[in-house]
């Protein structure tokens, strides 16, 4: 009894071509961490390759790696600098990231300076908390904010 | 005889071969699972902005500059501030602008104009904001900067909605016709794309 797998092959090949067509291969993954629902926007400005900072309910992450935990969604007092605006652990890692990118971009004269940063936060996050992240990014050299949004669900 | 005929018929044909597609199936399924794991079925986009940078004008620099501030107080309320228009050179239809400002804003040419936009429906607030910005863009087609002052309690969603409204017209709005640097008319949806974000400290 022969097994006819022609239809299965058809399905697999079509699915594969569809996925290859819709997938973009970039080194930047902007899928938000669990617990974040990004704000919806009709903006169609493409996401550019940059460092990704996420402000979740439990922690702050840079490129999906933990930077510092949060205390019930709030910054821990020991994480804030003397100016009460800079998040010290985040500043440390962002400055390293900036230096790394500057070394890379410095060798490529035609490329833009590495001041871009992608920001991911929950749509209900108050600006009172977000401002610390923005200030820290700014003092670390990242002055080109890119707020990551998603298409509104119809 | 029949066997010979069958043999003669067989001579013109290639021998049947079995195609082993096991390895092909392996590759396809592995690739498929890999791509399914890597693929994201959500589309993500970005809204650019920049931070407020402290500084002061060089001494002797008295050139008037275009100042547009949107102060975001809540999802239902925002305030607009347009700096002094006296001396600004890039205005089209000065008289039309001045009479429109007198009708819709409070203030004067030398100190600037303010206006509050309020509505219980947040979408209406954004739409009203865009309508005002559209008129301002028509009169200042070469200006692209705006400041967005945000109050602490404002949610991130409201910030991105307002940022999007300040940067460009929505799809449902008609494109704006402006005269570009070459003197030609062109259609655009861009309003004030260079948005500076700052924290509203309560000052005007």
Say yes or no to pLDDT of B5 above 80: no
Q: Of A67-81, A136-150, B3-17, B107-121, where does mean pLDDT reach its minimum?
A: B3-17
Say yes or no to pLDDT of B91 above 80: no
Best of A45, A115, A119, A132 to disrupt the B interface by mutation (most B CBs within 10 Å)? A45
| Residue in B35, B50, B151 closest to A145 by CB | B50
Best of B30, B40, B44 to disrupt the A interface by mutation (most A CBs within 10 Å)? B44
pLDDT of residue A92: 95
Best of B157, B170, B200 to disrupt the A interface by mutation (most A CBs within 10 Å)? B157
Is B161's CB within 8 Å of A123's CB?
A: no
Mean pLDDT calculated for residue range B185-202: 87
Is B21's CB within 8 Å of A148's CB?
A: no
Is A127's CB within 8 Å of B167's CB?
A: no
pLDDT of residue B129: 94
Q: Of A66-80, A120-134, B50-64, B143-157, where does mean pLDDT reach its minimum?
A: B50-64
Is B160's CB within 8 Å of A147's CB?
A: yes
Residue in chain A nearest B73 by alpha carbon: A127
The pLDDT tens digits along chain A (154 residues) read 677 878 888 888 888 888 777 765 555 567 888 888 999 998 878 888 889 999 998 999 999 999 999 998 899 999 999 999 999 999 999 999 998 888 876 665 555 566 889 999 999 999 999 999 999 999 999 999 999 998 887 6
ipTM of the complex: 0.80
Residues in chain A within 8 Å Cβ distance of B150: 127, 131
Residues in chain B within 8 Å Cβ distance of A123: 155-157, 160
Say yes or no to pLDDT of B203 above 60: no
pLDDT of residue A101: 83
Say yes or no to pLDDT of B173 above 90: no
pLDDT of residue B109: 81
Mean pLDDT calculated for residue range B85-108: 78
The four Cα atoms A90, A95, A97, A99 give a dihedral, to 10 degrees, of: 180
Say yes or no to pLDDT of B84 above 90: no
Instruction: Count how many pairs of residues, chain A against chain B, have C-beta atoms within 8 Å.
Output: 136
How many CB atoms lie under 10 A from the CB of residue B58?
Answer: 6
CA distance B115 to chain A (A): 23
Is A127's CB within 8 Å of B152's CB?
A: yes
Query: In angstroms, what is the C-alpha Rg of chain A?
Result: 20
Q: Of A104-108, B78-82, B144-148, B175-179, where does mean pLDDT reach its minimum?
A: A104-108
0.90 exceeded by the pTM? no
Mean pLDDT calculated for residue range B121-133: 93
HEC assignment per residue over chain B: CHHHHHHHHHHCCCCCCCCCCHHHHHHHHHHHHHHHHHCCCCCEEEEEEEECCCCCCCCCCCCCCCCEEEEECCCCEEEEEECCCCCCCCCCCHHHHHHHHHHHCEEECCCEEEEEEECCCHHHHHHHHHHHHHHHHHHCCCCCEEEEEECCCCEHHHHHHHHHHHHECCCCCCCEEEECCCCCEEEECECCCEEEEEECCCCC
CA distance A17 to chain B (A): 9
């Amino acid at each position: 009894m022969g097994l006819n797998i022609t239809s299965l092959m058809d399905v697999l090949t079509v699915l594969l071509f569809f996925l290859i067509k819709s997938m973009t291969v970039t080194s930047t993954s902007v899928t938000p961490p669990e617990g974040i629902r990004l704000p919806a926007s009709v903006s169609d400005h493409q996401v550019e390759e940059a460092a990704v900072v996420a402000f979740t309910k439990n922690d702050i992450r840079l490129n999906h790696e933990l930077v510092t935990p949060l205390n019930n969604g709030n910054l821990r007092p020991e994480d804030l600098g003397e100016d009460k605006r800079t998040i010290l652990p985040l500043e440390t890692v962002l400055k390293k990231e900036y230096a790394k990118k500057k070394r890379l971009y410095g060798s490529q004269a035609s490329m833009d300076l590495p001041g871009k940063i992608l920001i991911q936060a929950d749509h209900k996050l108050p600006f009172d908390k977000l401002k610390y992240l923005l200030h820290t990014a700014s003092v670390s050299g990242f002055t080109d904010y890119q707020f990551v949004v998603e298409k509104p669900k119809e | 005889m029949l066997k010979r005929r069958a043999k003669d018929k067989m001579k013109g044909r290639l021998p049947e071969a079995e195609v082993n597609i096991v390895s092909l199936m392996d590759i396809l399924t592995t690739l498929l699972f890999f791509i399914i794991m890597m693929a994201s079925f959500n589309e993500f986009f970005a809204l650019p902005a920049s931070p407020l940078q402290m500084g002061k004008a060089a001494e002797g620099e008295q050139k008037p500059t275009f100042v547009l501030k949107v102060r975001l107080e809540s999802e239902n309320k925002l305030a607009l501030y347009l700096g002094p228009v006296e001396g600004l050179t890039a205005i089209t239809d000065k008289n039309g602008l001045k009479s429109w400002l007198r009708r819709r804003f409070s203030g004067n040419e030398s100190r600037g104009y303010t206006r509050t936009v309020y509505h219980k429906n947040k979408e209406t607030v954004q739409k009203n904001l865009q309508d005002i910005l559209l008129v301002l863009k028509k009169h200042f087609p070469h200006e692209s900067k705006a400041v967005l002052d945000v109050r602490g309690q404002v949610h991130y969603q409201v910030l991105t909605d307002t940022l999007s409204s300040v940067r460009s017209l929505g799809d449902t709005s008609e494109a704006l016709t402006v005269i570009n640097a070459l003197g030609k008319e062109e259609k655009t949806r861009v309003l004030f794309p260079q948005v500076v974000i700052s924290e509203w400290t309560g000052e005007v």
